[in-house]
Every structure is written in structure tokens, then in C-alpha cells.
Amino acid sequence: PVAQVGVVATLDDPAVPCCVNYSAQTDSAGHYTLYVRAGRYRINFQPPSTSDFVIEYWNDKPDYATATLLDVSVPTSSIDAVLERGFHITGRVTDAVGGGAVQGSVVTINPQTCCQAFTVVQTDPDGTYSVTVRPGTYKIGFNPPYGTDFVSQYWNGKPDLASADLLVVDVANTPNINAVLAHVFRLTGRITDSSDPTLPLPNAFVSAYTAVGFQYIASGVAGSDGSYSLYLPTGNYVVFFGPPYLSDYLGEYWNDKRDQLSADVVHVTGPMSGLDAGLARGILLSGRVTDETGSPIPGLFVNVDNSTTAMFVGGAPTDADGRYSVLVPAGSYKVLFPSNGLPFIEEWWNDKPSFAAADPIDVTSSVSGINAVLARGVVISGHIRSATGATLAGAAFLADGNTPCCVFGVGHGTTADGAYSFTVPPGNYFVGFYADGYEFQYWNGKTDPLMADVLSAVADRSGIDSSLAPIDSSSPAGSGPPADGSPPGGSPPPSDGTLPAGSPPSDGTPGASGGVSDDRAIVSIRPVVQRFDASWSSVGT
């Protein structure tokens, strides 16, 4: 028998907010009794932290998601468990200043969403901890003791759960999963109206992101006088000031910068004050989106781009009546109505097909009537896959199938599982597929543009997948596209800045392009919010 096992029954009832739990503990003979109301439950067995047994759910299930539900309407017995022994994760938490032990740090193992059990232990006086887990993959969090000025982190110094490294525990104990906790510093400032610094903006917010990688670190909210406090460890950050909810103010980055790319970096080495922001009021740009019958198109996210730099400035979804409105600073803009997976052909304002051809809109005061009537199209969709069938994140490209392959006029980044879709007019198309580390490929497994198959799309076409082969690393890297116009195989962009046909630039900047020796064209691709704007130029012999 195993004594001191915590037994927790969690009610499974959609009508009851998460979580309703009933708990008990096993006695020296391993017996327990729970008193619950009638209902359906997941039963969780939590062994004492000093043992090497692992948590499980009734019926030998390893986690909340797979737990067997138990219906209880009468007294129920023999809800037993035979606990398995697991592996130990051990480590030590220390202070970044001086290296001393951090006692009472809370270590979390495999954090889950509501109602799902996760393991929590505290460090001993010498900073060490030990926890027993079943074989699996985990994210390890280190939280500071209450009342201290340490900053939380995940294993390997990662700042949040999303970016946390995965720890695989499968065949042996895992020691030395350590953490060195840094101290945070207090940053203060005030958020006001840019035209009247005496007017505070309560409930405006401030958020800090790493200068490299743009990972979220911390945030704060302005009080009634507009003042805020933000706590950050030593490092380099970009700081964003957001407007109060439902106000007509515009957000900005520190030092009156409009976007992330131009934001000044804040170097934190100690406490800082005077990081103030004056937010300007925005100007309303609005319109309506309908189909060719005049019916509204709801749920389409309208993009507003700077007409000179092509940077995304703002956007908004259309409502049930197809109407949208976006707050922007005074300036010149181009407005895109993308398909967003809807069965409509995207266009720029005034029925223009591309950013280059789009009409600019000068905004100095409120502008209305920026409308669009979208035509229905056909959807070409599929997944980017490797030759083994594994899905790959990358990009898919389309070219006009009535011209020699391949002038890629549009490209889309895939989702994480390699899915892509285009909504286009009925017609003939070439389809190209790109993934980092794999050879560029056209539809039907073709690698030579002269042999690329034309896809006829008079109706929706799904399952248009790739079968990409990995790049042969034994081949020397080329310095540019081949002189005979054949595709360079999706290899990384050469050092001289030229690009293979249809491949996005590695630095995310517009304007990078390559060349071939015949009259086919090569594209330059600008990734913007899972969209690639493409331009092309013919290179003559």
C-alpha cells in the first residue's frame, strides 16, 4: 500500500465553472474515502512528493485529457490505482548575483490549462529540488519566492511558456535542470495625451518585449494619474504604449516611434524613471465590403499599409454588415481587402490587383467610403509536405498558367502544419512550394520550370500538396541562380543577395531579387502578417 496519496475527484459538468474538486488522502493501508455529489468525475491520484511514484488518473490513464470518466449516482467502491514508478528531474535554483541558493522557488513541471494536474515543488534551503515524473516531454518553470524581486523564467533561460524548451524524459533520471534567477528593476513613467501632457490616460497599458526576437516579457497598466510601473531584468527591450480600451488614441513605441522596426531600444541595467509617452488621437478610415450581389462580407480583416514603406499600419475585421473602421495617424495609405480564407478574390482599394498598382489614400481627417466589392473565386489549397509525408512550414506560390513558367505573382506563408490556400479567379496556374532546407518544387513533383504542370482550377482544388526532397548538403552552395534558368533547388539565399525563383528573402526585407539569363521572371517577396506581396521583372538576354 502507498500512504499519503492525494486523491482528487474533479467534476466534469459543462454547466459548472472550472473547477469543482473533492479530495482525500490514503491512510497507512492505502485506503481512502471521498464524499461527492452525484455527477461525472475524473479521479486523480497524486503520490507524496517524497516518493518516486507518478501521478495518474483512474483506469491507469496518464493525464486529464485521456482520463476515464466515472459516473457516480450511488455509493461506489473499488476505484483503485496501482501507481507506477517514474524518473527524477532534479536541479538547483541560484541567485544571478553572487550565486547563492534561492530557497522557496516554486518549480512547475508540465503546466497545463484549467483542471489539468501539474506538479509543483519548492526548492530546499540549499536551492535544490527533486520531482518524479512519468516518461514524457515537459516544460519546466522557475518562479521566485513570494515577496522577492527575482524574475520568473523557464528552463534554459526562456522567458515564457510559449518559448520554453522541451525537456524529454524517457529512459533515465534527468539531473542538472538548473535555473539562475535574475533580479528585476522597476521602470516608471507616465502616459498622457500628446497634445495636452496634463491630461493623463488611465488604463492605458505598457508592454516590454525583447529587442531581439520580440518575445513578451512584462506589462503594466496606467493608474488614474497616467503613471505606471514595469518590472524587468537586465536586458535590452522595446517598450510599447497601448491606448485605453475603446479609446480613439493610437499606440506607439517609446520615443514616439510608430512601429517595432523603428522602435528605440531601452537598455535596462538598473531602475529607470521618466519613460513617458504622449499618445496621439487617431483618424478614422472606414468603409464597407460586399460581394457582387451587394451582400455584406463579414469577418474579413482589412489591412492598411503605409503607401511608401509598405509596412502594415493597422487593420480591423468587417462586422455583420460588412463595415469596418481603422484608426490611423495622418499619412498616406494603401488598403488591402484580403480573402482571409473566404471564397473571394483579394484586391486593393479601387479594384487594383497589387500594392504597386494600388491608389494611395491621403488621410488628414476622417475618411469614409473606402469600399470594396469582391468577386467570388476558386480556392486552391493543400499542404507543404516532405517526401516522407511530414508537413512543413514554408510558403506556396502561384503563377499564371497561361505564360511560360514561372512568374510568381502571389505567395502565402503556411500555417505551422504546412497548410496554405489561395482564392483566385478560375483559370490555369503554376504552383510552387518552398520550405527551408528543401529543394524548391512545382506541383506534381516537378523541379524544372520548363516541365512544370499546369493546374486547371475552374472549381475549388484541394489536396494540392508538395513532396519536397531535402537539399543535398554535399553539393557546394551556388553563388546565384543558374545561368540556364533552372531552379536553384530551394537552397538558402546566396551570399551575394540573389534569390531563387519564388523563395522569400531570409531577412524579411522587400526588394531582394535575383536574375536568370532568359526571359522568365524572378520575384521579390515581402512577408507581411502571413502574406507575401510579390513583384517581378523580366530579365532579357
Give pLDDT tens digits for 350-370: 999 899 999 999 999 999 999
Handedness of CA 450, 452, 453, 458 (dihedral sign): negative
Peptide bond between residue 115 and the one before it cis (omega within 30 degrees of 0): no
pLDDT higher than 70, residue 537:
no
- Grid cell, residue 131, equals 520531482
Give residue 535's pLDDT band: very low, low, confident or very high (50, 70, 90): very low
**Residues 257 and 113 grouped into a single domain:** no
Q: Which CATH number fits the domain that encloses residue 333?
A: 2.60.40.1120
| DSSP bridge pairs for 278 | 192
| DSSP bridge pairs for 7 | 24, 45
Give residue 434's pLDDT band: very low, low, confident or very high (50, 70, 90): very high
**Residues 449 and 480 grouped into a single domain:** yes
In a domain, 265, yes or no: yes
In a domain, 63, yes or no: yes
pLDDT higher than 50, residue 511:
no
Per residue in 440-482, pLDDT tens? 999 999 988 888 999 999 999 999 999 999 987 654 444 333 3
| DSSP bridge pairs for 44 | 8, 57
Q: By C-alpha distance, which of 253, 274, 255, 272 is closest to 206?
A: 253
In a domain, 532, yes or no: yes
Give residue 249's pLDDT band: very low, low, confident or very high (50, 70, 90): very high
CA atoms of 315 and 299, how far apart (whole Å): 12
Neighbours of 145 (CB within 10 A): 15
246, 279, 312 - which closes a domain: 279
> What percent of the chain lies above the pLDDT cut of 70?
84
**How confident is the model at residue 114, as a pLDDT?**
46
**How confident is the model at residue 522, as a pLDDT?**
28
Cβ atoms of residues 42 and 67 within 8 Å = yes
Per residue in 123-157, pLDDT tens? 999 999 998 888 888 889 999 898 788 988 999 99
Cα 336 to Cα 198, 305, 320, 515, distances in angstroms? 38, 8, 19, 29
Residue 75: which residues within 8 A CB-CB, separation 6 or more?
none
**How confident is the model at residue 118, as a pLDDT?**
65
**Residues 317 and 389 grouped into a single domain:** no
**Residues 256 and 326 grouped into a single domain:** no
Cβ atoms of residues 525 and 508 within 8 Å = no
**Residues 248 and 367 grouped into a single domain:** no
> What percent of the chain lies above the pLDDT cut of 90?
59
DSSP 424-447: E-SEEEEEEEE-TTB--EEGGGB-
In a domain, 82, yes or no: no
**How confident is the model at residue 473, as a pLDDT?**
61
**Residues 117 and 209 grouped into a single domain:** no
**Residues 226 and 123 grouped into a single domain:** no
**Containing structural domain, residue 161:** 87-181
**Residues 448 and 506 grouped into a single domain:** yes
pLDDT higher than 80, residue 27:
yes
Range 399-412 average pLDDT: 77
**How confident is the model at residue 190, as a pLDDT?**
98
Q: Where does residue 311 rank: exposed (0-12), middle (13-18), buried (19+ CB within 10 A)?
A: middle
Q: By C-alpha distance, which of 180, 178, 247, 240 is closest to 207?
A: 240
250, 279, 308 - which closes a domain: 279
In a domain, 79, yes or no: no
CA atoms of 535 and 510, how far apart (whole Å): 10
Cβ atoms of residues 116 and 64 within 8 Å = yes
**Residues 349 and 387 grouped into a single domain:** no
**Residues 523 and 440 grouped into a single domain:** yes
Q: Which CATH number fits the domain that encloses residue 234?
A: 2.60.40.10
47-61, 178-192, 509-523: segment of lowest average pLDDT: 509-523
Per residue in 330-350, pLDDT tens? 999 999 999 887 889 999 999
Phi/psi of residue 90, each to 5°? -130, 160
**How confident is the model at residue 483, as a pLDDT?**
40
Mean pLDDT across the chain, nearest whole number?
Answer: 84
Range 58-70 average pLDDT: 90
Helix (H) or strand (E) holding 413, with range, is strand 408-413
CA atoms of 246 and 27, how far apart (whole Å): 56
**How confident is the model at residue 33, as a pLDDT?**
95
In a domain, 193, yes or no: yes
User: What are the helix and strand counts (H, E) for the chain?
Assistant: 0, 40
**How confident is the model at residue 285, as a pLDDT?**
97
| DSSP bridge pairs for 456 | 428
**How confident is the model at residue 386, as a pLDDT?**
94
Pick the more confident residue, 416 or 29: 29
In a domain, 296, yes or no: yes
**Residues 159 and 271 grouped into a single domain:** no
Range 80-108 average pLDDT: 92
**How confident is the model at residue 416, as a pLDDT?**
87
DSSP 337-368: E--TTSSB--EETTTBSSTTTPPPEEESS-B-
**How confident is the model at residue 352, as a pLDDT?**
95
Pick the more confident residue, 134 or 249: 249
Cβ atoms of residues 296 and 373 within 8 Å = no
374, 396, 420 - which closes a domain: 374
Give residue 406's pLDDT band: very low, low, confident or very high (50, 70, 90): low
Give residue 17's pLDDT band: very low, low, confident or very high (50, 70, 90): low
Cα 360 to Cα 34, 286, 312, 373, 514, distances in angstroms? 69, 15, 14, 18, 28
In a domain, 253, yes or no: yes
Domain count within the chain: 5
pLDDT higher than 50, residue 519:
no
- Angle ∠(267,270,274) on CA atoms, nearest 5: 70
**Residues 394 and 501 grouped into a single domain:** yes
Cβ atoms of residues 241 and 251 within 8 Å = yes
Cα 441 to Cα 50, 309, 466, 504, distances in angstroms? 56, 31, 7, 14
